[in-house]
Amino acid sequence: MIFTLDIESTLHSLLAQEDTDGDKKITIEDKGPKAFNIISSEGIDYIVKGTYHLSNLLQELVMAKNEGDKVAEIPLHHIEELPSVRISRLIKDYFWNGLTRTIDETGIANLMHDTKNASLASDKLRIYIPFDDKLALQYYHKLENSLPIEAIKLPEDISPAYVKSLNTRPGILSLKLEEQNSEINKALSYLNPELVSEIEARGGKASAIKTDVSKSKDVEQMVAHAIDVFGRLDYAVNNAGIEGKLSGITDLSEEDWDNVMNINLKGIFLSMKYEARAMIKLGKSGAIVNIGSINSFLGFPTGSAYVSSKHALVGLTTSVSAELAPQGIRVNLLCPGVIDTPMHQRLRGVVGDEIYDQALLPKVHLQRAGRPEEIAQSILFLCSDAASYITGTTLTPDGGLTLTL
């Protein structure tokens, strides 16, 4: 059943009846009848009942309006679809580009409005470019003519003194440009080079090295760099991961599948390979923590690549744990739930407070999202002597979410 609805008149009637507190939303606090009549294209009367279904109808109307439409054609299954299905569909069809950060020409304007990051608060956005990345240097120099940015080429050898100097010149680091038909079509997500400075300013010791975890040579160099700087390797946390493209199995391309597997699974395989070599060579016991997800146990529509990569980490972790335990090296998997990170906040923003508050949070025993520092404490625990008899297992800091799904 499909409903062909005049957007303006339907919005006006729906909000007038159901939005009793005037906040342009339909929530459980509103005192409306929670029942709204619409007519299908076939002339069949249908009553949309309940807060959740009414808020879905409202969201469908608003999205169509934002697309510039005067009339919305809304299938019944979009109004009644389950929360997990709806969230996956909306991310895939409407919001994916808005959830990913890039620093190409189309993404820089949005970054300039990010007032939460000190790197972006100055009049000009500094973009630090790896010494040997000629393509990126040329690209950003060209953008200097039209955008408020400053392209800065990093030295070939980055000294500790240079890293400390970034305290007064914060910016972001270009990781990789994608070129298609001789044009830049995407600049991949960035790292913030001021993080090392922040750690050292607080009395710690830190160093960073650009690494593509899907490449064996890069990972080997990363581990060697850690040994050069710190003299040893006691603990390792393998956290690099991507969501990849959300797509149904009949539409998912081999390239999109490989991209996710190369980072999420192959990347952790390579990291453990060289981390374990270093620990064994130095004759040290140690601990390795791999970062999975509650999707190491749970699936969701359109997430086959991501979910498969996270499921695989369970088997990989337990197998490597059995191999390395005789060497005194413990290996565990941490599987966080819904955590309050920038990605999570953007997700909440695009799917709507209603779905988040009424469909997701109630399933978390603690009735809230986790905090990043709580995940950090879980990692520290698994690395510490307090976890000396824990290996080959999973720890799931999810507030009880997986127990209710």
- Phi, psi (degrees; rounded to nearest 5) at 45: -70, 140
For 128, how many CA atoms within 13 A lie in the half-sphere containing its CB?
20
Neighbours of 226 (CB within 10 A): 18
What H or E segment, with its residue span, contains residue 98?
A: helix 96-99
Using a CB cutoff of 8 Å and minimum separation of 24, what contacts does 347-351 make? 347/91, 347/95, 347/99, 350/90, 350/91, 350/94, 350/95, 350/98, 350/99, 351/86, 351/87, 351/90, 351/91, 351/95
- Phi, psi (degrees; rounded to nearest 5) at 398: -130, 10
- Phi, psi (degrees; rounded to nearest 5) at 206: -150, 155
Instruction: Tell the residue number behind the tokens 């650009």, with chain if given.
Output: 210
Residue pair 44/74 in contact (Cβ under 8 Å)? The answer is no
Residue pair 43/51 in contact (Cβ under 8 Å)? The answer is no
Select which of 190, 274, 306, 356 is catalytic. 306
For 7, how many CA atoms within 13 A lie in the half-sphere containing its CB?
16
User: Is-catalytic flag, 235?
Assistant: no
Distance (Å, rounded) from C-alpha 395 to C-alpha 10?
A: 48
Distance (Å, rounded) from C-alpha 29 to C-alpha 194?
A: 44
- For the record, the structure tokens of 388 come out as 């000396």
Residue pair 79/56 in contact (Cβ under 8 Å)? The answer is yes
Distance (Å, rounded) from C-alpha 198 to C-alpha 208?
A: 12
Cross-sheet strand order for the sheet of 125-129: 149-153, 125-129, 172-173
Query: Which residues, at least 6 apart from 216, have a Cβ–Cβ distance to it below 8 Å?
Result: 270
- For the record, the structure tokens of 250 come out as 């009949």
In a 3-state reduction of DSSP, which class is residue 58?
Answer: helix
What ranges in 325-384 are assigned the alpha helix state H?
Answer: 342-351, 353-355, 372-383
Distance (Å, rounded) from C-alpha 163 to C-alpha 173?
A: 13
Catalytic residues: 306
